[in-house]
Amino acid sequence: MQQNQSILSYKRGRYLKLALWFCALAIVVYIWHEPPVVYIKPYGGTWLGYTLGTIAAALIVWLMWLGIRKRRYASNLGSVQGWTSAHVYLGTSLIIIATLHSAFEFGWNIHTLAYALMITVIVSGFFGIYAYLRYPEMMTGNLAGETLESLLLKISDLDRKCRKLALDLPDEINTIVLKATRAHPRELAVGNSMRRQITAINADCPTRAACDALLRVGGKLNPEQARINGQLLSEMTRKSALTDRVRRDLRYRALMQIWLFFHVPLSFALLAALTAHIVSVFYYW
Amino acid sequence: MEIQVTNVTVNQRGQAQRDQRRIAGPVFIIGRGTQCQIHLPDPRVALSHARITVTDDGAVIEAEPGRIQINGQATQSARLAVGDRIEVGPYLLQVETAPEGVPLALAVTLVNPLEGTKSEGVNRVAPSENRISKRRLSYLGFGGMLLLTLIAPIAADLLGRVGPTTTFPVAPDAKHGAAVEMTQAVSAKFTESWNPGPLSQSHQPFAADCRACHQIPFKHARDQECVTCHKRIKEHVPAKELTGPQGQAFRETRCAECHRDHKGVGIAPRAQEQCADCHADVESVAANAHSEKVTDFRTDHPEFRLSLLDADKPKLVRRVRQGKQSAAQLVEHSNLKFDHKLHMDPEGVRDPEGKRDPSGVRDAQGRRTVLKCASCHEPDEGGRLMKPIVMEQHCQQCHSLAFEPQVTKRQAPHGSETEVATMLREFYARLVLGDVPPDVNPPPDLRRTRPGAVLTYQDRQAALQIANQKAKAVLYDLFEKRKVCSTCHTVKRTEDEAGWDVAPVRVAQVWMPQAIFTHAKHSTETCETCHDVKGSKESKDIAMPDIKKCRECHVGAKPVSGKVTSDCATCHKFHAGRDYWHAEMQAQMLAPPLSKGKK
């Protein structure tokens, strides 16, 4: 079996073909299907409407089952790769199936809410596919053979080195350096909030601020101090470059995760809304 | 060529330990990879960090930019000399004085051990992942959504069941506390959130009260709820006339199966196919049906059937289909004499109040009026039918009922013969008794009582006798000599008090009661387009258009360019039947409420 196969091209797009045929069939039947005249126009309550609705609901439950299947390492029911490939394509086909089920009728009600949730989940899934296809490559390029851990350790070393160098420099510089290298949780150079991780810019990055400050104060020092300051500046600049890489790495990691924070909880909200949609239709039959 | 590498470590007692090794060259890779000759097992060291090449000229170290520092200076390549301090990540490599025969001696010290720095580094990037877990969000999303979209609307519905249901129209005196009203408003919002589509206009008052129509959860909306309001809705065909399985199925069709609500403003289906289901072979649904096969107005519709009245048989309604074979039967027995041809004379009819005839020779008074259809036939307020023709309004201007024009301009009432006789007797009795109204010029031959005379009983009897005789003479004049009544009516001599009998008149107002025809909608056309009366000299002639006439403009459900698309519902009403919907149920609903005294 090919190892580096993407989930999109799994078994030469077996599930892509399945999903396309399925959608085409649904569209053809929808066009061919003439609802009884009393219904005025197609809607979810004709035989085709109920069929499409049942298929869509079953698909949603099955798509969510991926969360269970991927944790069942002992299961032999298809490979997780195959499941994921099918998850992507059949999940996308839901857009067509559910829209045909709705017969393009939308309103401010729980039925359209369930539809909107479904679309949101699918779109967040699209982002997930994009992230999984694009970011690992970019991460590898960014790390360039290093690991996040090794980068952090290097930063740590540089911090210590900088602090040591700054001891011989005036208080002003020492304070700047201390600020930039102190591992106080509130002044984290990288990471912290999800928003910061994703935007990957720290406007108030203390390392960058220290670099600027060191460059500024360089002229006022005596030759010996200037030499140390030069050394300090080069170390600080190295650290700045490292922190930028760490930030980028964290950004990619966050982007690869963040969509799941929408995809998964929203699909559970969708499951609830779908339940309400089905119950409501038959509660007031 | 071998070099000497000394690993300098510190033991538990803080003493330095030196492990010496000899490594074969000439190229020595420094890195964390195990294949490296100088193996520095630390993650901060690159896999292949730097390279020392030993030749006869000495040892040279090379590395990528920014990787190593020699004596505090970042460098890429340097020739090594004794005493050089090379920083490789956390390691310090010192060039020592080499023993005899060894070109290079290095002391490797781990200056910055990994321990102690690890937590510092990891802490920096620990994102707040633990605070928001996908699992917790999922529980929240599922639970919250279930509560808002399922549990709350059901709770609102069940709570609403406890309280009184909405009545329509809403009772104005219904007063509740603010809390109750707010609860109701909120629960109404939740209930409405389930509404799959806008209700038809007339059902919109119930938008927040689903139970008005959907009484029992998980059961179809029942007819009972429909006829709670639509009490007088009629069944298409009385239940007892339906036969066979299809008839049974038709009988069991619920209102909501045809009237699908929540689909926008319209709720009444226009479903010609549904009509044709039965009417293509109506006997299969109702064995004794009188209607003929019909599936489409243009291609498959029988001739129109007229409901004809008979003035002499008030209960009889003859339904005669138009067509050549039934031409003899297509006559109206209205007992009225009327000549459309005469009245529609383009030269006009004699009219004492009409315009002067320019030739002045046609009649004595020389005044004529040209009548149009609209002179007599006026549409009713709804614009559907024509108002009935009324003698006083439409005829009397020309057809005066003056009974003795020389005496008075008063006219006999247009009513029963008895009424006319009574009126005349009273009129002449008054004159005979000497009370002459100012507008009356008493006839000279009438013997009158002298004013102020004291009349005995015999005198009064004699006076009434005179008046009666006069009245009788005038009646004779009206009915027979001048033939005032018999101009239009069939008059017979009888032996009763009135002396004459005018045959009863019945004129059809609605010729096709099963069809809806609205004159107002056809006001773009002239009357003559459909009704041809120019040649009609008798009132028995019928001027109703036939299906060919309608088909000049109207086609069936399938559109045809330049024609009016017309399905069954264009002309026919489904609920135009005779019995109430599900008669037994209706009987209870329409029964008058028991009075309070009776129990």
Beta-bridge partners for B88:
B68, B91
Q: Quick check: B579 and B239 in contact, CB under 8 A?
A: yes
Q: Which helix (H) or strand (E) holds B92?
A: strand B91-96
Query: Which residues from B are below 8 Å from A146, CB to CB?
Result: 46
Choose between B587 and B379: higher pLDDT.
B379
Indicate which of A66, A111, A117, A156 best probes the interface with B, i.e. most B CBs within 10 Å of its own CB: A156
- Length of chain B in terms of residues written: 599
From B114, B218, B272, residue closest to A282, measured CB to CB: B218
Q: How many CA atoms lie within 13 A of B552 on its CB side?
A: 8
Q: Reduce the DSSP state of residue B91 to 3 states and report it.
A: strand
Residue A80's pLDDT is 81
Residue B270's pLDDT is 75
Residue B258's pLDDT is 83
Residue B287's pLDDT is 85
In this structure, what token pair is assigned to residue A3? 């190892």
Residue B162's pLDDT is 56
Q: Which of these ranges, A144-158, B304-318, B350-364, has the smallest mean pLDDT?
A: B350-364
- CA–CA gap between residue A247 and residue A195 (Å, rounded): 12
Query: Which residues from B are below 8 Å from A194, CB to CB?
Result: 127-128, 132
Q: Reduce the DSSP state of residue B113 to 3 states and report it.
A: coil
pLDDT, average across residues B275-298: 88
* Residue B131: band (very low, low, confident or very high) from pLDDT cuts 50, 70, 90: low
> How many other C-beta atoms lie within 10 A of the C-beta of residue A247?
22
Q: Which residues neighbour A260 within 8 Å (Cβ) at sequence distance 6 or greater?
A: A128, B134
Listed in sequence order, the DSSP H helices in chain A are 14-32, 47-69, 80-102, 110-143, 148-166, 171-181, 194-199, 206-217, 223-283
B222–chain A Cβ distance below 8 A for any pair: no
In this structure, what token pair is assigned to residue A74? 């002992």
Q: Which residues neighbour B408 within 8 Å (Cβ) at sequence distance 6 or greater?
A: B402, B439, B440, B441
Report the complex ipTM: 0.83
- CA–CA gap between residue B545 and residue A83 (Å, rounded): 72
Q: Reduce the DSSP state of residue A21 to 3 states and report it.
A: helix
pLDDT higher than threshold 70 for residue B365: no
From A36, A43, A153, residue closest to B43, measured CB to CB: A153
Indicate which of B32, B68, B129, B145 best probes the interface with A, i.e. most A CBs within 10 Å of its own CB: B145
Residue B499, classified by CB atoms within 10 Å of its CB into exposed (0-12), middle (13-18) or buried (19+), is middle
pLDDT, average across residues B558-566: 92
List C-alpha distances in Å: A59 to A92, A176, B316: 11, 58, 67
* Residue B118: band (very low, low, confident or very high) from pLDDT cuts 50, 70, 90: very low
- CA–CA gap between residue B456 and residue B473 (Å, rounded): 26
- CA–CA gap between residue B186 and residue B51 (Å, rounded): 77
* Residue B47: band (very low, low, confident or very high) from pLDDT cuts 50, 70, 90: confident
Q: Which of these ranges, A49-53, B82-86, B206-210, B253-257, has the smallest mean pLDDT?
A: B206-210
Residue B65's pLDDT is 84
B244: left (phi over 0), alpha (psi -120 to 50) or beta: left
Q: Quick check: B363 and B373 in contact, CB under 8 A?
A: no
Residue A61's pLDDT is 94
Residue A183's pLDDT is 52
Q: How far is Cα of residue B566 from the mean position of the Cα atoms in its chain?
A: 19
Residue B409's pLDDT is 87
Question: Residue B465 is which amino acid?
Answer: Q
Residue with tokens 């909405």: B166
From B66, B117, B138, residue closest to A265, measured CB to CB: B138
With CB atoms and an 8 Å threshold, state whether B145 touches A272: yes
In this structure, what token pair is assigned to residue B355? 């315009």
Choose between B451 and B404: higher pLDDT.
B404
- The residue among A213, A191, A211 whose CA lies nearest residue A202 is A191
pTM: 0.70
pLDDT higher than threshold 60 for residue B458: yes
Choose between B552 and B101: higher pLDDT.
B552
Q: What is the pLDDT of residues B387-444, one digit of tens each?
A: 999 998 888 888 889 888 888 888 999 988 888 889 999 999 888 888 888 888 888 8
pLDDT higher than threshold 60 for residue B115: no
* Residue B575: band (very low, low, confident or very high) from pLDDT cuts 50, 70, 90: confident
High-pLDDT (> 70) share of chain B, % = 88
Residue A1's pLDDT is 40
In this structure, what token pair is assigned to residue B72? 């505090």
Question: Residue B96 is which amino acid?
Answer: E
CA Rg, chain B, in Å? 55
Q: Which of these ranges, A76-80, A128-132, B66-70, B123-127, has the smallest mean pLDDT?
A: B123-127
pLDDT higher than threshold 50 for residue B30: yes
With CB atoms and an 8 Å threshold, state whether A153 touches B66: no
With CB atoms and an 8 Å threshold, state whether A264 touches B197: no
Q: Which residues neighbour B349 within 8 Å (Cβ) at sequence distance 6 or greater?
A: B342, B343, B368, B369, B370, B371, B398
pLDDT higher than threshold 70 for residue B130: no
Q: Which of residues 114-143 of B touch A (CB under 8 A)?
A: 114, 117-118, 120-129, 132, 134, 137-143
Sequential DSSP letters for B4-69: EEEEEEE-TTS-EEEEEEEEE-SEEEEESSTT-SEE---TTS-TT-EEEEEETTEEEEEE-TTSEE
Query: Which residues from A are below 8 Å from B200, CB to CB?
Result: none
CA Rg, chain A, in Å? 28
Residue A37's pLDDT is 62
Q: Reduce the DSSP state of residue A72 to 3 states and report it.
A: coil
Listed in sequence order, the DSSP H helices in B485-554 are 527-530, 547-551
- CA–CA gap between residue B186 and residue B184 (Å, rounded): 5
pLDDT higher than threshold 80 for residue B259: yes
- CA–CA gap between residue B351 and residue B360 (Å, rounded): 13
Sequential DSSP letters for B136-172: HHHHHHHHHHHIIIIIHHHHHHHHHHHSPPP-SSPPT
Three-state SS across B445-499?
CCCCCCCCCCCCHHHHHHHHHHHHHHHHHHHHHHHHHCCCHHHCECEEECCCCCC
With CB atoms and an 8 Å threshold, state whether B194 touches A157: no
pLDDT higher than threshold 90 for residue B289: no
Q: Quick check: B295 and B278 in contact, CB under 8 A?
A: no
Query: Which residues from A are below 8 Å from B217, CB to CB?
Result: 283-284
Q: Reduce the DSSP state of residue A144 to 3 states and report it.
A: coil
Q: Reduce the DSSP state of residue A273 to 3 states and report it.
A: helix
From B44, B134, B259, residue closest to A261, measured CB to CB: B134
Per-residue pLDDT of chain A (285 residues; tens, 9 = 90+): 444 567 777 777 788 888 899 899 988 888 888 766 666 677 778 888 899 999 999 999 999 998 888 888 887 777 888 888 889 999 999 999 999 999 888 888 899 999 999 999 999 999 999 998 889 889 999 888 888 888 888 888 888 888 778 777 777 777 777 777 765 444 444 555 667 677 766 667 778 888 888 888 777 777 888 888 888 888 888 888 888 888 888 888 888 888 888 999 999 999 999 999 999 988 887
Average pLDDT over chain B reads 83
Distance in Å, alpha carbon of A258 to nearest chain B alpha carbon: 10
pLDDT, average across residues B443-468: 83
pLDDT higher than threshold 90 for residue B128: no
Residue A160's pLDDT is 80
Residue A182's pLDDT is 63
* Residue B589: band (very low, low, confident or very high) from pLDDT cuts 50, 70, 90: low
- CA–CA gap between residue B168 and residue B111 (Å, rounded): 90
Residue B272's pLDDT is 83
Q: Quick check: B118 and A153 in contact, CB under 8 A?
A: yes
A11: left (phi over 0), alpha (psi -120 to 50) or beta: left
Q: How far is Cα of residue B239 from the mean position of the Cα atoms in its chain?
A: 27
Give Dmax (Cα) for chain A: 95
From B127, B195, B270, residue closest to A192, measured CB to CB: B127
Choose between B176 and A124: higher pLDDT.
A124
Q: What is the pLDDT of residues B502-544, one digit of tens each?
A: 898 988 888 998 888 999 999 899 999 999 888 888 888 898 9
Residue A186's pLDDT is 40
- CA–CA gap between residue A101 and residue A99 (Å, rounded): 5
Residue B358's pLDDT is 60
